[in-house]
Every structure is written in C-alpha cells, then in structure tokens.
Amino acid sequence: MLDAARQRTLGLIADLHSGQWLGPQLAIVNPPLWELGHLGWFEEFWCLRGGSHQAASVLERADRLYDSARVAHGTRWSLPLPDPDATRRYLDQVRSRVISALADRPALAYFGQLSALHEEMHAEALTYTRQTLAYPAPAAANAAVEGAAWPGDAEVQGGRFRMGAERGSGFVFDNEKYAHDIEIRDFRIARAAVSNGDFSEFVEAGGYRRREWWSEAGWQWRESAGIEMPRYWQRVDGRWHWRCHDRMERLPLHHPVIHVSWYEAEAWCRWAGRRLPTEAEWEYAAATVPGSPGLKRRHPWGDEAPSAERANLYGTAGRCVPVNACAAGDSAWGLRQMTGNVWEWTVDWFQPYPGFVRDPYAEYSEPWFGSHKVLRGGCHATRDTLIRNTWRNFYTPDRNDVFAGFRSCAI
C-alpha cells in the first residue's frame, strides 16, 4: 500500500517545472512542493516518532514546515521549504526507515495503513489541484466517451439497518465508527448521478439568476462567487464546453456533472422538484439487499474488490465516464456508479456517530464536525483501497473545485 501510494504521488509531480512547484496562493489548494514534504512528515510522525513532537525528525524544522495542524495554510507558500530534490530525499529517508520499523515492529501496521491511505487522499487532492491550476491531465487520462443517459428512479423499500462500520471489519476511520441502528422509510432515488445534460437545462432556464431556487446561504455564495454556470463551463458558438485540466473540450452531456458545490446541487434539486438524499439513505441504497435490510455489502455490487467493470476509480479511465457505464457495479436496488466516477453530495452536515471516540490522528474528523457536508461513493481519482460503502468524505458546502457531483431523490 505504501509503495503503490508513493508511485502514484511521484507520477503526479514528475512533470512539474519550477514555476509549478508552488503555484498561485489559493485557499483551496496546497503548494505541490509543500504537499509532497507533508506526506513524508506525516509518515515519519506516526510510524517513526510515535505521534510525538518531542521525538526528533530526520529533517530539521520538519514540524514547523509540514505539520498541517500547526502551519497556517496561508503561510505555506512563503516557508523556507527544501527544494524538490531535497524533498524527495527526505521522503526516501523516511520510507527506508519505516520499512525497517514495520519489519521489526508489526504493531506499527495500523500507522503504516494510515500513512498509505493518507497519501492516497493527498494524491486525489493533487489530481484536482492540477485541474484547478490548469496543469496537464495525469498521463493515464483517457479521451471522453459520450455514452448514453441512464434515467429513472429506483424504488427502495425502507427498513431497519446498521449504519456505519461494524467492529472487526478492518481498517476504518473514526468517523465510520461504529455501526448503529437506523430506521429508513421507503424512498425513490435516481438510478444515476445528475448528468451534464440534466444540469445544463437548469443553467439554460436561468437557474443561476433566479433567487427562488437558492437557499439564503447558497444565494450569498453564488453572488460572492459571481458565477452563472458550473466552475469550468463555457458557452462557445451556442454549445457547452468545459476546461478539462489544460484544454477546452466539448461538454460530454451524458457524463455526471462535476465540480459543483453543495449549494449548486441544492439549487438544482429545488428547480427540478427533487431533493438530495440523506447520508443514511445513500448508505442504505448502496449497501443493503431488497428483502434483507440487515444484510450489508462492503461495496454496492457485493464484497468482491472493485474492478474496471464495476467502478470508475483511480487507474480505470483517469476521468469521468458516462452515467450508464459500469453496469456490473449496480447496487442490489439497481443504482449505478454509487462507487466511483464522482463523489456524491448528501443533504447532511458531517456529524459524529453515537459514542464517537477520536482516533490517534485527532485532526482527521473532529475539527470538521458541523461545518462540512457529507459526500459518499468516491470518484475517478479515488483509490480502490480507500473506498467502501461506509466511507464518509466531507467538504464545506461552497467547494466546487473537488470531484463532486450528486444524485437526487423524489420528494
């Protein structure tokens, strides 16, 4: 896991030139050079230093450079960061010592997994940073395939189920702990995520200019952001285009809409006379089987590992695929792409489950309760080792730079 994550990281930064290692100072990204060093720091801090600032680092001033809980975001562009070659050497030094430590102390396996998954999350962040900064697409990205629509709702019969991760189910994060009983009423949920074509109808109907479709907070965000369409869209000669990394291309109408904020998803739902699913409804529809709500699957299709036929995750297409793709990954209720392609906003604020106890990595979940919205399902840049039906992602509702879309429910 550690080696696979590192190989991916190095591939994402291999083509950066001197002007791209820091990039512009933005609130929504980190300087790639800082992010690279932070990965080495995190791995060393948990696997070699026991999570203690009192233990020495192999790099002088490491805590003052890379501790994300202590180094203010806005200062990361002006820190005396080691150059790219020195940063890579720091990562190599740490990794060599970690491999030796894992061999000598098997009890460190938890922190080895934590470091690998942390690096995979940052690799996803580096991928959308490349989109934000208009850097070229990762080398493995395919050309867009148009595909077809996948309309309609699935009727989901409610019941009582165990939401969250069960004890003894392997490595999970503290915000997934632990499974608890939830009662779900019958509901209808879209078989696929909202597509670009679906969303373009809202835009063309004046959706960004009509106050009635927006919540008060959403309208304030829209006005302050000054947007009248999704973040990377443009109208060219009467047709929709969008910027995919460093190039403009025709908007693939049957791909899921992506790079939309929670506020935009909420506004579309109001316009369409629909709603966002609750987090519990999303997990229930992804994980349960008709007639057996007590039976939960690890993935929508079952307990087997993800594959290219089942889910568009990292290493498959390198970008979104049409909403009708990956039929082998349908949930038991007939819902497509509940894993992969785009993260899906839910209506709920990110909150702890009953009896929450934070894990050693205290900054992962607890600081963000109540201020972030929950997303589920993973995206085309998510590693298969990360994702499962109980995984909870979370962003503030204004974020339209991440690989997020949504599916809707009938009211």
Give tens-digit pLDDT for 118-140. Answer: 999 999 999 999 999 999 998 76
Query: What span, in angstroms and rounded, lies between the C-alpha atoms of 343 and 339?
Result: 8
Which stretches of 32-173 are DSSP H helices? 32-47, 62-66, 84-104, 109-132
Provide long-range contacts, Cβ within 8 A and 24+ apart, for 68-77.
Answer: 68/38, 68/363, 69/363, 73/27, 73/30, 74/25, 74/27, 76/30, 76/31, 76/34, 77/22, 77/25, 77/31, 77/34
289 contact partners, CB below 8 Å, separation of at least 6: 295, 297, 332
Give tens-digit pLDDT for 154-174. Answer: 999 999 999 999 999 999 999
Give tens-digit pLDDT for 317-329. Answer: 999 999 999 999 9
pLDDT at position 142, please? 79
Instruction: Retrieve residue 53's tokens.
Output: 């600032």
Q: In what order do the strands lie in the sheet with 247-250?
A: 233-236, 239-244, 247-250
Q: What end-to-end distance do the CA atoms of the chain give, in Å?
A: 43
Give tens-digit pLDDT for 14-27. Answer: 999 999 999 999 99
276 contact partners, CB below 8 Å, separation of at least 6: 265, 266, 269, 345, 346, 347, 406, 408, 409
Nearest to 266 by CA among 320, 207, 223, 338: 207
**Average pLDDT of the chain?**
97
Give tens-digit pLDDT for 368-403. Answer: 999 999 999 999 999 999 999 999 999 999 999 999
Query: 3-state DSSP call for residue 37?
Result: helix
pLDDT at position 62, please? 97
Instruction: Please determine, for residue 143, whether its predicted confidence score (pLDDT) is greater than 90.
Output: no
Exposure string of 386-400, with b = 16+ CB inside 10 Å and e = fewer, is bbbbbbbbbbebbbb
Q: Is the peptide bond before 66 cis (omega within 30 degrees of 0)?
A: no
pLDDT at position 41, please? 98
pLDDT at position 293, please? 78
Instruction: Give just the sign of the alpha carbon dihedral 253, 255, 259, 262.
Output: positive
The structural domains of the chain, ordered by start, are 2-132 (1.20.120), 147-411 (3.90.1580.10)
* pLDDT category of residue 145 using cuts at 50, 70 and 90: confident
Q: What is the mean pLDDT of residues 201-207?
A: 98
10 contact partners, CB below 8 Å, separation of at least 6: none
Q: Using the 8-state DSSP alphabet, how is residue 231 labeled?
A: T
Query: What span, in angstroms and rounded, lies between the C-alpha atoms of 266 and 196?
Result: 16
* pLDDT category of residue 92 using cuts at 50, 70 and 90: very high
155 contact partners, CB below 8 Å, separation of at least 6: 186, 188
Name the one residue in this structure whose structure tokens are 């019958």. Answer: 186
pLDDT at position 146, please? 85
Instruction: Retrieve residue 89's tokens.
Output: 């050497």
* pLDDT category of residue 144 using cuts at 50, 70 and 90: confident
* pLDDT category of residue 294 using cuts at 50, 70 and 90: confident
Instruction: Please determine, for residue 37, whether its predicted confidence score (pLDDT) is greater than 90.
Output: yes
pTM: 0.97
Give tens-digit pLDDT for 215-229. Answer: 999 999 999 999 999
Give tens-digit pLDDT for 275-289. Answer: 999 999 999 999 999
Q: What is the mean pLDDT of residues 245-261?
A: 97
